[in-house]
Amino acid sequence: MSAWDLYDELIDAIPRDITVVRAAQGPRWTRIYTNNPSCGIALTMSASSRPAQMMDDYVGIPVRAIAQLSKSWNFSEASFGLAALNSYYSTASVAAEHGFVIDPAGAAAVSSGGSAAAGVSWDRVFSPFSERVTGKKVAVIGHFPFAPKALHSAAEFYMLERQLNEGDYPDSAAEYLLPECDFVFISGSAFVNKTAPRLIELSRQAQTILLGPSTPLAPVLLEEYGVDQIDGVVSDKPLATFEALGEEDNVSSWANGHIVERGAGVALSR
């Protein structure tokens, strides 16, 4: 099996009649807005040492064609490819059809008359694992600054990152650490730099959670590749989300979206 098989399966599920209406790349987020309508998001990776495969005017081009760029070794271009791929999977109706539900904290906010977004706070994704990781070995791929506090009861905790912050392990440590871990949390941005297939493979013996706005809400990851849980974003107002993420990355930028999740068994129990 090739590492490209995962990308091909994700791309092949995208209908051919969805087209790009707007595309934009900022320092933090790359976005694709479609005629569906929907908004796909990916972390911007600016590395562009390799030539681009396609001109950057994507308007009017089928989303499926742009999603092919997720396989590009020009990471700036690959960010657009992943955003295009996510513009299909993150459509509210598609996510619901695939079994994704609003995360419990967001659902509680709705039931009490509040917003499902609740700030789209990723710390609440880690919090339910606080007791489950007690005495366990835990790795987090990507620098989520709130993860260490939520997962403080772990016997051993590893934060792996390519752009290193104080205390982080380099991403090359994955080959050595992940096979030993009980829980592994992987940022969806790993699909841009092509490390996702290997990280998932290395985490086969662990409880594996994919998370973040870049994460494809794709059942195949749960059904065929051994991922145990996916936490991603769905936008209720995709055009507003597209425009808001072109500005500062703060709580208000995510006001028109909410976190959704699904476990390998569809229904999540915590």
Residue 149, pLDDT > 80, answer yes
* Distances 245 to 24, 83, 134, 214, 259 between C-alpha atoms, Å: 10, 13, 36, 13, 16
Q: What is the pLDDT of residues 168-184, one digit of tens each?
A: 999 999 999 999 999 99
Domains of the chain: 4-94 (3.30.390.100), 100-237+257-263 (3.40.50.11590)
Distance CA 174, CA 199 (A): 7
- Are 33 and 238 in contact by the 8 Å Cβ rule? The answer is yes
- Decide: helix, strand or coil at residue 175: helix
250-269 pLDDT per residue, tens: 667 788 889 999 997 654 44
Cα dihedral 15/117/149/269 (nearest 10): -70
Confidence (pLDDT) at 107:
53
pLDDT at res. 265: 65
Give the pLDDT confidence score for residue 163 in this predicted structure.
87
Q: Is the pLDDT of residue 212 over 80?
A: yes
**Residue 141: strand pairing partners:** 160, 186
pTM value surpassing 0.85: yes
Give the per-residue pLDDT at 116: 47
